[in-house]
Amino acid sequence: MKFVLPSGLCLALLNFILSAHAEISATNEPVPGILIHSETRTNPPTRLFVAVVDLNNPKLHLHVANGGPDPDGPGKWQTTLLQPTKIAAREKFAFVINGDFFKARGVNDGEGTNAAFRADQWALAEGPAMTDGKTWSTCTNARPCLVVHKDHSVTIETLARPAADDWEVIGGNVILVRDGIVVPHASKVRHPRTVVGLDNTGAKLTILVVDGRKPGIAVGMSYDELAEEMLRLGCKNALNLDGGGSSVMAVREAATGQFKILNEPTDGRERAVVNVLGISADKP
């Protein structure tokens, strides 16, 4: 005889199994409309940080911000690298994560003490980028992007350049979840990750940062594991942003006004990046 569990019971059972092997922090709300919690799991060793943003909250605003100034005007390079919390402090954000994949002049990627990315290096974003209606990066091959439109709606789209009705655009490399279905990927390698996703109403933005490259503590996640995680978190669509040593999630502490980095970047310090996704909050 074959028994089939109802879908609701299956989900409850899955959550029970996950919770049995996970330590989940209490959900806190450092900024009204942004709920944050962390999870630590043992099999495999995993550490993740989740922020859920209420896009219907009129006091919250999504922004894409580049690093430093354009170093060569109409030349190849678009901006200079800068640490996400420094970008966020300059722009008066309340919350920030790293953004697009990027290239820096004369630099090969490296990790930990070997990482050569530093503030003020000339850089360019590999995907489309728009800030406050101004396009400052395009690409030849379309890439998945998180898009904030002029009417304040937020979508996940594949673009080579921002459209006329776009206001903020930040790019990634692959779609993880499309219309509630996992998009399979051949690569099964685990890395630190930064991921964004939207629920089926487009009213909830889920941001996931996963630590990795820390044997016995946090091994990171593969694309397929990320997709399953974003489904579990209620996302209908999700895309992967830059990861590795760039992955960071930080929030401004109300008491001090200083930014607190929630995860542990693999360089042992915050990496300078080409752009960020930030959230500003109107003061009461």
Span 67-97, pLDDT tens digits: 999 999 999 999 999 999 999 999 999 999 9
Inside any domain, residue 2:
no
Based on the structure, what is the number of domains in the chain? 1
Inside any domain, residue 268:
yes
Residue 192 sits at φ, ψ, to 5 deg, of -60, 145
pLDDT (0 to 100) of residue 205: 98
Q: Is the pLDDT of residue 2 over 70?
A: no
Give the SS3 label for residue 246.
Answer: helix
- Residue 78's domain comprises 7-281
Inside any domain, residue 34:
yes
Per residue in 148-202, pLDDT tens?
999 999 999 999 999 999 999 999 999 999 999 999 999 999 999 999 999 999 9
Give the span between the Cα atoms of 277 and 94, in whole angstroms. Answer: 11
pLDDT (0 to 100) of residue 113: 60
Among 1-15, 40-54, 168-182, 225-239, name the one with the lowest average pLDDT.
Answer: 1-15
Inside any domain, residue 223:
yes
- Residue 166 has, within 13 A of its CA and on its CB side, a CA count of 24
Q: Give 19's contacts (C-beta < 8 A, 6+ positions apart).
A: none
pLDDT band for 144, please (50, 70, 90 cuts).
very high
Inside any domain, residue 19:
yes
Per residue in 268-284, pLDDT tens?
999 999 999 999 999 87
pLDDT (0 to 100) of residue 199: 98
Give the span between the Cα atoms of 194 and 210, in whole angstroms. Answer: 7
Q: Is the pLDDT of residue 100 over 90?
A: yes
Inside any domain, residue 1:
no
pLDDT band for 111, please (50, 70, 90 cuts).
low
Inside any domain, residue 217:
yes
**Summary mean pLDDT of the chain:** 92
pLDDT (0 to 100) of residue 109: 65
Q: Is the pLDDT of residue 17 over 70?
A: no
Per residue in 179-190, pLDDT tens?
999 999 999 999
How many Cβ atoms sit within 10 Å of the Cβ of residue 131?
19
Q: Give 96's contacts (C-beta < 8 A, 6+ positions apart).
A: 84, 85, 87, 88, 248, 249, 250, 251, 259, 276, 277, 278, 279
